[in-house]
Amino acid sequence: MILADKIMMLRKKNGWSQEELAEKLNVSRQSVSKWEGGLSVPDMNKIIGMSALFGVSTDYLLKDELESITPSETAERDDKGAVRSVSLEEANRYLDTVERLSRRIVLAVMLCILSPACLIFLGGCADEVAGFLISENFAIGIGMITLFLLVGVAVAIFIPTGMQLSEFSYLDKEEFSLDYGVKGIVEKRLLSYIPRYRMLLTLGIMLCIFSAVPLIVFAIMEASLLLLVGSTALVLVICSIGVALIVRACYINGSCQRLLQTGEFTEENKKRTRENEALDSAYWGVFTALYLGVSFLTMKWHITWIIWLVAGCLSPVFQYVIGLLRKK
């Protein structure tokens, strides 16, 4: 059966006139008449439109050898339940939003990492070995003010940024599908970003790894306490840049994978992530309370930041154990 006959058969099966079908497809009645008469062929957009309208696959419409009706993907999804559809416009808006807001997120992350740097450096200046360059109370006061100021600015960035991204939260929580042609465009955008992603990720990891080099060099040289404290603060500066590059790369790369539902954003992984949200919140909440409690009790902020490194190293172990428990 040729396309012209299939269009006429499906139209009559639904009880529509040529005028009614033309109105649904936003074309003229003459166009429908020519399609059914075999005088012209509808373009691909109209084929896709008729596929959704009649509830048949595009293969059934286009392949003459297919005589039995095959349902469209949309019709199959409707049988299973409604699935949210993502248009090209919405996908581009999401990708552009992530590209724009990732710069703010990177800045907020850097501010959080840098927040104790001033306290560490001023604390070293107030040490007896360093020669009491400033008083201890002054060092702690200015350092704490700087710490809370930087963290406050970071939070002020995180909250509105998260609110702007919240409209796309369904990408992590719901099952969805991409409209025709969207997947290819997103894949092309992801492919063009991969070289930049690899470069940013590699550079960020290298900076984090080698951030401690100045501190190690000064320690080997048995430099003064002031230089050691300054190099400790420098470690945070270099780390903040490295982490910023990693966050920037992963945010943009992740936005494409989230739309394509690949990598860590497959339906199975999203389900696992939703199950682990409460546990992750509790995990990092405990370490945050531990960090603040130990830091305020000992006032050794230049040392207690290591708690975050321990938390980061233990996080994969924690996730692995939870995974084993879930399997059991």
Q: What pLDDT sits at residue 130?
A: 46
| The one-letter amino acid at 149 | L
In sequence order, the 6+-apart residues with CB closer than 8 A to the CB of 82 are: none
Q: What is the pLDDT of residue 215?
A: 83
d(CA 270, CA 261): 9
Distance CA 168, CA 190 (A): 19
Which among 304, 281, 310 is positioned nearest to 116, based on CA atoms? 304
Positive or negative: CA dihedral 128, 129, 132, 134: negative
Q: What is the predicted pLDDT for the residue at 264?
A: 75
Q: How far apart are CA 93 and CA 85, in angstroms?
A: 14
**What does the pLDDT average to over 188-216?**
90
Residue 266 φ then ψ, to 5°: -65, 165
Helix, strand, coil percent content, the chain, rounded in steps of 5: 80, 0, 20
Q: DSSP label at 126? A: T
Q: Sorting pLDDT into bands at 50, 70 and 90, what band is 149?
A: very high
**DSSP category for residue 167:** G
Instruction: Please say if the pLDDT value at position 111 is more than 80.
Output: yes
Kindly state the average pLDDT of the residues 64-86.
60
Output the pLDDT for position 79: 47
Residue 305 class from Cβ within 10 Å (0-12 exposed, 13-18 middle, 19+ buried)?
buried
Q: Which two tokens stand for residue 97?
A: 């939003």
Lowest-confidence segment of 128-132, 198-202, 263-267 by average pLDDT = 128-132
Q: What are phi and psi of 82, to 5 degrees?
A: -65, 135
Hey, where are the domains in the chain?
3-80, 86-267, 275-328
89 exposed, middle or buried (CB, 10 Å; 0-12, 13-18, 19+)? exposed
Among 37-41, 65-69, 311-315, top mean pLDDT goes to 37-41
Contact 4, 38 (CB under 8 A): yes
Q: Which of 41-45, 104-108, 282-286 has the highest mean pLDDT?
A: 104-108
Query: What number is the average pLDDT over the span 307-314?
Result: 78
Residue 124 has pLDDT above 90, yes or no: no
Q: What is the pTM of this model?
A: 0.61
CATH fold for domain 3-80: 434 Repressor (Amino-terminal Domain) (1.10.260)
The token pair at 137 is: 């109370």
Give the torsion through C-alpha atoms of 270, 275, 279, 284, to 10 deg: 20
pLDDT at 23: 87
Highest averaged pLDDT of the listed ranges 90-104, 259-273, 282-296: 90-104
